[in-house]
Amino acid sequence: MSWQPFFPVQNNSHHSLRQLLLIVCHNHSQQHVRLHCRCTHVCRRLTFSRNSHRLLNISLFHSGPVSDSSPAASHHSTSSLHRQPPLVGIVGGVGSGKSSVPRAVSDLRLLIIDADQIGHRQLQIDQIRQQLVQQFGNQILQDDGQISRSALADCVFGDTTAHAVALEQLNRIVRPGIRSEIQRQRAQAPHDVDAIILDAALLLEAGWAADCDLVVFIDTPDELRIHRVAETRHWSADELQRREAAQLPLHRKQEACDITIQNSGSLEASANELSRSIRTLLAANQHEQQPDRDSHPS
C-alpha cells in the first residue's frame, strides 16, 4: 500500500476548502482506489471500483466550519447551539441486526430513521401505487387493491437481466419519496438528541452515505443471519440469497464503511460498541467547534 500526495499543502490550521490534501491509496488486494480529502474541518472518503469506475461510497466523517470567515467559525457564533445532530448510517446484511443494535443503545438519545419502513409506506401512496401498476401490471395488486410486497419482490429480485431492469425501475419510482421523507425527519429532529441513526438496507447503493458523518457495518455470521430470517421473515436460505443478490456484496459494503461492529455475541455488547463509536464522533465534533486558542492570541 502506498500513499502519494498530488500537491503540497502548508502545515497550518487555516486551510480553506480549496487547500485540500489529496491522497490516493491504491490497494491491490482489495482492487479499489480510495481518495482522501482533508482540511481543517472536512474529511471525505471516496471509494471507487477500479473495474466499473462506479462510486461506491462518499462518507463525510466530520462536518463543521468550512472557512475561517464562516459564521460557525466565529468565537461569538451561537449556531453550534442549534447544530443538527450527526447522522450515523447503519449497513449490514439482512438479519445482521442493523435495526436491533441501535435500538438497544440505552445511554444515548438516538433518533432512528427507518428507511425500509418509509419505503413500505411509499407503496400505500396512490400516485406511487399507480406508477407501480403501470410499470409492473395488476399482478402486483392484492384483492383490496394495495400493493403485494411479495408479488413485487418476485418481479424485481432474481438473477436475470429482466429482474435487474425491474429493480432499477422500482428504485426510480420509490427512492425520491424515501429520500425526501428521510430529509424531512432529519430536519425535524429534536435538538436534544445526541445522534440520528439512518437504518437503510440500500444506504450505499442509493448514495445516501454522502449524507452521513459515520457509516457503521454490522457484521454477523451467515448461519446466524439465516436462522434469524427464518424465524422473523419465514425466509429460506435460498430466499435470503435471492434478495441479497440484488445488493452490493457484503464484503464490498464492509470495505465502504468507516467501522465494523461484530454482532455474533450479545446484543448489549454490540450496542455498547456502537455507543462508544458515536461518543467518539461527538467528541471529535465538539473538539472541532472549539476555538483555536493558539492561532488567536489574546
Q: Is the domain of 98 the same as that of 123?
A: yes
Check whether 64 has a pLDDT greater than 60.
Answer: no
pLDDT of residue 26: 33
Tell me which DSSP letter residue 194 carries. S
Tell me which DSSP letter residue 283 carries. H
Q: Is the domain of 15 the same as that of 59?
A: no
Q: Is the domain of 102 the same as that of 241?
A: yes
CA-wise closest residue to 23 among 10, 12, 38, 11: 38
With 0-12 CB in 10 A as exposed, 13-18 as middle and 19+ as buried, what is 86?
A: buried
Q: Is the domain of 44 the same as that of 58?
A: no
Over residues 239-262, mean pLDDT: 91
Q: 92 is written with which cell numbers?
A: 449490514
**55: which residues sit within 8 A by CB, 6+ positions away?**
46, 47, 48, 207
pLDDT of residue 159: 84
pLDDT of residue 291: 59
Length of the chain in terms of residues written: 298
Q: Is the domain of 202 the same as that of 222?
A: yes
Q: Is 163 helix (H, G, I), strand (E, B) or coil?
A: helix
Over residues 144-170, mean pLDDT: 93
Which residue has better confidence, 76 or 269? 269
Which residue has better confidence, 42 or 293? 293
Residues of the chain with pLDDT > 90, as a percent, come to 60
Site of grid cell 490516493:
24
CA-wise closest residue to 168 among 205, 125, 123: 205
What is the domain range of residue 113?
A: 54-63+86-287
Over residues 163-176, mean pLDDT: 94
Q: Is the domain of 273 the same as that of 151?
A: yes
pLDDT of residue 15: 34
Q: Is the domain of 30 the same as that of 165?
A: no
Site of grid cell 452515505:
209
Average pLDDT, the chain: 76
Check whether 288 has a pLDDT greater than 80.
Answer: no
- Looking at residue 271, its amino acid is A
pLDDT tens-digit profile of 125-135? 999 999 999 99
Over residues 230-253, mean pLDDT: 90
- Looking at residue 26, its amino acid is H
pLDDT tens-digit profile of 98-121? 999 999 999 999 999 999 999 999
Q: Is the domain of 5 the same as that of 136?
A: no
| Dihedrals phi, psi of 265, to nearest 5 degrees | -105, -135
How many domains does the chain contain in total? 2
Q: Is the domain of 43 the same as that of 59?
A: no
Residue 298 in any domain: the answer is no
Which residue has better confidence, 288 or 104? 104
Check whether 253 has a pLDDT greater than 90.
Answer: yes
Over residues 60-75, mean pLDDT: 36
Full 3-state SS string of 34-80: EEEEECCCCEEEEEEECCCCCEEEEEECCCCCCCCCCHHHCCCCCHH
Q: Is the domain of 134 the same as that of 225?
A: yes
pLDDT of residue 245: 85
Over residues 277-296, mean pLDDT: 76
Check whether 51 has a pLDDT greater than 60.
Answer: no
Residues of the chain with pLDDT > 70, as a percent, come to 69
Check whether 256 has a pLDDT greater than 60.
Answer: yes
Q: Is the domain of 41 the same as that of 179?
A: no
**217: which residues sit within 8 A by CB, 6+ positions away?**
91, 92, 253, 254, 257, 259, 260, 261
Over residues 218-234, mean pLDDT: 93
Check whether 234 has a pLDDT greater than 50.
Answer: yes
pLDDT tens-digit profile of 5-28? 333 333 333 333 323 323 333 333
Q: Model confidence at 158, in pLDDT bands (50, 70, 90)?
A: confident
* Inter-residue contact 61 to 44 (CB < 8 Å): yes
